[in-house]
Amino acid sequence: MVTNVHQIIPEIAEGVRGGSGMVTAHKLLDRFPGSAIKSVGLVRLEPGASVGEHSHDGDEDFYYCIAGTGIVVDNGVEHPFTPGTLQITRHGESQAIKNTGETELVFLGALVATAEASDD
Per-residue pLDDT at 79 exceeds 60? yes
Give the residue extent of every domain in the chain: 11-119
Alpha-carbon span 63 to 113, nearest angstrom: 15
Compute CA distances 35 → 57, 68, 119, whole Å: 17, 31, 11
Mean pLDDT (whole number) for 3-11:
92
Half-sphere exposure at residue 97, Cβ-oriented, CA atoms within 13 angstroms: 31
| CATH code for the structural domain at 11-119 | 2.60.120.10
Mean pLDDT (whole number) for 43-68:
96
How confident is the model at residue 119, as a pLDDT? 46
